[in-house]
Amino acid sequence: MPLPMLLWLTLGAFAIGTEGFMIAGLLPAMARDLGVGIPAAGHLVTAFSLTYALGTPVMAVLTAGLERRRLLALAMGTFALSNLLASLAPNYPGLLGARLLLALSAGTFMPAASGYATAALPDRRGRALSMVTAGLTLAIVAGVPLGVLVGEGFGWRATFLAVAGLATLSLLGILVRLPRLPAAASASLRERLAVAGRGDVLAVLAASVLMMAGAFSAYTYLGVFLAAAAGFGSRELALALLAFGLASAAGTQLGGSAADRWGPRRAAMLGGGLAALAFGGLSLVALLWPGHAAPAIFAPLLLWGLAGWGMMTAQQARLVALAPALAPVTLSLNASAIYLGSATGAAMGALVVAAGAVVQIGWVAMGFALLSVLVIGATARRALLTSAATAKALPE
């Protein structure tokens, strides 16, 4: 199968990434329109992330017997319909329900798309996977700022309609252009839990949860933070999100290079440490120049994009290095850990915003990031002690 045919999966990933990340810039407008507070609107992220984290492995088991193209079409069709329901939601509970469906369909599509890509092109797996993940990268770089501008010009409901249109195009391409592939073997829920229970795997997953908790305690309310700290409106926010997206795309590549050069654990610690510095920098800049932090706010924002996404790339490399044969399972567990951290961070951020301390949110994010680095450092120390004990026990 020609590699360009996977562009329909790239488009699907782009739609999912855009919907998932654009909400950070739409929270104030959504809160006003639905008659709820910003913390309550932020819980839309918490609900989505928690459903994605817990629902993805369950959906993978439930849909394991489906033919792959049919599974992709079902997931993307549900995603398109859920976006339409979100755009028409009459109230907060209606939008919350739509976001739960969005999480389940997105969590079903992304692993299935990666599996389809590698099965369809077994001799070009790396490039096939990069085609799928490129959609998420493009969403962060371009989709999210465009979503903010569309929301500013036409209302937040228009952004969900636009994503529904993108998802429909992806669905049509999947049905018309992609060949059928038989169902693949999938690890059972019991097997997944057994892998997650391994001490070394669990330690890596814990670090991912903590880092993403820090990232999403800040990212979920980034629009509100930048408005308070730097007076940013929608256009300035779109520019900031574009800069952040470009830094994140670069950070993903740098994280992989750093993991290859220095080892994934060192790369993860470096990325986590720099991300902690960036989070603290956000609130420090807001403290030094209250209400007028632009353009100084861009420095920690760009550092966050570079270091934070680089750290998560190194985390994936750590999991693969721990158990190469179990990589499909451990990477799917890491995806659940990422969204569990997102849910935790969004909930924590809501508490900070509810307390009227949105400009202090960087300190909260910094605390989570430092805890993540400490977890990585503790596992490194334990590994060294275990290695030393093993060497001492060997005969001379």
How sure is the predictor about 126, in pLDDT bands with cuts at 50, 70 and 90?
low
pLDDT confidence band for 383 (50 / 70 / 90): low
Alpha-carbon gap, residue 127 to 62, rounded angstroms = 28
pLDDT tens digit sequence for 321-372: 887 777 778 878 888 999 999 999 999 999 999 999 999 999 999 999 999 9
Reference 125, options 327, 338, 337, 309; nearest CA is 327
What pLDDT does residue 334 have?
Answer: 86
Q: What is the pLDDT of residue 394?
A: 37
What does the pLDDT average to over 384-392? 45
Segment 102-131 shows an average pLDDT of 85
Give CATH 1.20.1250.20 domain extents, the chain.
Answer: 1-186, 191-396
pLDDT tens readout for residues 170-190: 999 999 999 999 987 777 778
From residue 1, alpha-carbon distances to 52, 108, 115, 119, 170 in Å are: 31, 23, 15, 11, 18
The CATH homologous superfamily to which domain 191-396 belongs is MFS general substrate transporter like domains (1.20.1250.20)
Using one digit for the tens of pLDDT, what is the confidence trace for 281-325?
Answer: 999 999 999 888 888 999 999 999 999 888 888 888 888 788 777
Residue bearing the bigger pLDDT, 396 or 227: 227
From CA 238, how far away is CA 151, in angstroms rounded? 11
**Mean pLDDT, all residues of the chain:** 89
The pLDDT of 263-282, averaged and rounded, is 94
| Cut 0.85: pTM above it | yes
Output the pLDDT for position 188.
79
Question: How much is the average pLDDT of 372-391?
Answer: 67
pLDDT per position as a tens digit, 6-63: 999 999 999 999 999 999 889 999 999 999 999 999 999 999 999 999 998 899 888 8
Q: What is the CATH number assigned to the segment(s) 1-186?
A: 1.20.1250.20
pLDDT per position as a tens digit, 197-249: 888 899 999 999 999 999 999 999 999 999 999 999 988 999 999 999 999 88
Q: Are 291 and 231 in contact (CB under 8 A)?
A: yes
Measured CA to CA in angstroms, residue 34 lies from 38, 158, 186, 227 at distances of 10, 15, 41, 20
Q: Are 213 and 341 in contact (CB under 8 A)?
A: yes
* pLDDT digit string, tens, across residues 133-144: 888 889 988 899
